[in-house]
Amino acid sequence: MRSPTSINPDKMGCQLLWVFVILTLITIGEGRRSIGGACNPNDLKGLRSFKAGIRSDSSGRLAKWVGPSCCKWEGIYCDNTTGRVTEINLPGFFTLDGAPFQSSMEGWLSPSITLLTSLEVIDLSGLIYLTGNIPPSIGFRLPKLRKLSLFSNRLSGPVPETIGKLSKLEEIYLHENNLSGSLPSSLGNLRNLKRLDLHSNRFSGAIPDSITDLTNLVSLDLHANSLTHRIPEKIGNLQVLEELDLSNNSLCGRIPVSITNLTAISALYLDTNHLEGEIPFPSSSGQMPSLGFLRLHANLLTGRIPAAFGYLTSLQRVSLSNNKLEGPIPSSLGKLSSLTELYLNGNQLSGQIPGSIHQLSALLILSISHNMIQGPLPYEMSSLQDLQTIDLSFNRLNISSIPKWLIGLRSLSRIYLAGCGLRGEIPEYLQSTQISLQELDLSANHLTGSIPEWLGSFTQLYSLNLSGNSLVSELPTSITNFGYLDNTFSRGIQQIGKGVQSGIQYLNLSHNSLKGRLPTSIGQLVSMQSLDLSYNELGSDLPVSLANASSLETLKLQKNRFTGRIPDGFLKLGKLQELNLSDNLLVGKIPFGSPLSDFPKSSFIGNRGLCGKPLGSCKA
């Protein structure tokens, strides 16, 4: 037996037990306040691998990931009972000391992230330079995942088929990456999914039919991919869907009739695809009662705008432009009392504008250009007192003159009446209007007479298009007044760095019979981006001051009678992208250097005596 001096084994057992109990208590204690404790070895390994994959982190958050207490690390959240990591929350865009801060991480997404098997939330969005794939093991290892947010990175490869096993997933944000391949049909298994955003990737193939099983889906955004085939026939099953964006793909076939069953839909964007057939909705009142934003433009849709269109009484913005729609504009449109923007341009619509249009009292923008609409314009339009933009260009209106009521619309600032059959002089009554005109396009009409001096009094005007008429005068010096008051003002502001743009930016007086010289003051048009005076009879030397119009990107002076040399100062026009001086009477050496020497020969040909790059060298 044991000597009495020896330690009583029972007693020792007892002591050991105590040590054990104390240790256990400490461990449990640590578990409880797990945010302080050493974390689960798998979690630690996974996080360290993630950190090892990142070469640089401009936010400095990962640099503070030291030691074994990962639950204390920035962006990491643990379950306070199990001690397991439940969230990785490291978005590139976050608030730092109350101010928004955009950071980035360079490196790749380590697949070891799936070692963190208790993860519920992964937010590694907006890190900009994060590369790598979505690890296929995600489906086996992260059964608790509720939110997967990896948007605005540089991830590539497919969305793994295993994603369909993550039955708790509620939100998937993978947009703005470089992901490719076809969409896994297993997506249809994610019955708890509320938001799926895959826009701006390179996904191809069909939208899986199984997507219509996602009956809890509130928003679905697949825009700007390369998806083909038809829209799933049963899309109408998505009863709680509020936003559907399938725009800018290569979808074809008809818009499914079931779409009328999307009772919760508020934004429907199917534009910029190859959809054909008729617009299948609405067929009766009460359908799609919340639809506020509808974009069907840039497709191949045919037939008429449904007569029942007026039942979509929540509509605020509608774009049906650039399709092959025909027939009249339905008068039921007048029931859309919330409508603020209506784009019907680029179709084959005919008939007159319905008088009911005056009921659209909230309308701000009306674009009907490039159709076959006939005149006269209904006088009822004069009650559209909030209208800011009207574009009626290129129809069969033949309205002869700008209606007086039109320029009485107090909110109007952008008027497009190109190709509307306007004739006679630019009417004097335009001078007395109260509206502050910003854009005026009266091109491709039959206007005669001169460009009136008083046009210069529209100091807000930044775009004027009078090209393709029969105007004959000299250029009024007042054209350099456009935005003049603003100009002197804004120059002061620009110096303090606000960069306010004002003054005329686009001036197109081409294809007229304008005579005389360019006023020297033209160099004051420092905001001018595009000046087209081509196809006129303008003469004189090119003013040296034009070199001061430093915003010029487009300068078209071809087919005139300009004389003398090209001023050396033109080399200062550093923003110039388009230049045409051909078919004039210019002489001498083309000033050598960028940007002038970079233009093709055809920018300078047909002059009396120009030489030097890009034309042939000058004789000594």
Q: By CB under 6 A, name the binding residues for ligand NAG.
A: 32, 80, 154, 156, 178, 180, 224, 236, 248, 257-258, 261, 272, 398, 400, 418, 421, 441, 443-444, 465, 467-468, 506, 508, 510-511, 523, 530, 532, 544-545, 548, 554, 556, 558-559, 580, 582-583, 600, 602-603
Query: What's the token pair of residue 237?
Result: 């099953």
Bridge partners of 129? 106
Least Å distance, CB 338 to ligand NAG, is 25
Least Å distance, CB 340 to ligand NAG, is 21
Q: Which residue's CB is nearer to ligand NAG, number 278 or number 386?
A: 278
Q: Which residue's CB is nearer to ligand NAG, number 355 or number 600?
A: 600
Q: Which residue's CB is nearer to ligand NAG, number 593 or number 600?
A: 600
| Cα–Cα separations (whole angstroms), residue 198 to 158, 452, 484 | 11, 54, 47
Least Å distance, CB 512 to ligand NAG, is 9
Least Å distance, CB 304 to ligand NAG, is 20
Least Å distance, CB 517 to ligand NAG, is 15
Least Å distance, CB 533 to ligand NAG, is 10
Q: Which residue's CB is nearer to ligand NAG, number 84 or number 559?
A: 559
Spell out the SS3 assignment of 273-336. CCCEECCCCCCCCCCCCCCCEEECCCCEECCECCHHHHHCCCCCEEECCCCCCEECCCHHHHHC
Least Å distance, CB 289 to ligand NAG, is 15
- 30: which residues sit within 8 A by CB, 6+ positions away? 36, 37, 38, 83
Q: Which residue's CB is nearer to ligand NAG, number 164 or number 543?
A: 543
DSSP one-letter code for 224: S
Q: Which residue's CB is nearer to ligand NAG, number 229 or number 358?
A: 229
Q: Which residue's CB is nearer to ligand NAG, number 383 or number 564?
A: 564
Say how far apart CA 40 and CA 231 lie, in whole Å.
46
Say how far apart CA 280 and CA 292 lie, in whole Å.
17
Least Å distance, CB 605 to ligand NAG, is 7
- How, if at all, do strands 578-580 and 554-556 pair? parallel
Least Å distance, CB 357 to ligand NAG, is 23
Q: Which residue's CB is nearer to ligand NAG, number 8 or number 56?
A: 56
Q: Which residue's CB is nearer to ligand NAG, number 363 or number 461?
A: 461
| Cα–Cα separations (whole angstroms), residue 447 to 124, 418, 615 | 60, 11, 38
Least Å distance, CB 189 to ligand NAG, is 22
DSSP one-letter code for 16: H
Least Å distance, CB 552 to ligand NAG, is 11
Q: Which residue's CB is nearer to ligand NAG, number 229 or number 572?
A: 572
Residue of 577, 433, 554, 545 whose CA lies nearest to 505: 554
Dihedral angle at the C-alpha atoms of 266, 272, 277, 280, nearest 10 degrees?
A: 0
Residue of 116, 110, 128, 10 whose CA lies nearest to 59: 128
Q: Which residue's CB is nearer to ligand NAG, number 90 or number 224?
A: 224
Q: Is the peptide bond before 376 cis (omega within 30 degrees of 0)?
A: yes
Question: For the residues of 475-541, what is the DSSP string, one character each?
Answer: PPGGGGGTTHHHHHHHHHHHHTT-----S--EEE--SS--EE---GGGGG-TT--EEE--SSEE-SB
Q: Which residue's CB is nearer to ligand NAG, number 272 or number 359?
A: 272
Q: Which residue's CB is nearer to ligand NAG, number 233 or number 386?
A: 233
Say how far apart CA 174 and CA 199 lie, in whole Å.
8
Neighbours of 81 (CB within 10 A): 9
Say how far apart CA 414 and CA 439 lie, in whole Å.
5
Least Å distance, CB 546 to ligand NAG, is 8
Say how far apart CA 71 and CA 43 lie, in whole Å.
10
Least Å distance, CB 81 to ligand NAG, is 7
Spell out the SS3 assignment of 168-202. CCCEEECCCCEEEEECCHHHHHCCCCCEEECCCCE
The two most distant CA atoms of the chain are separated, in Å, by: 130
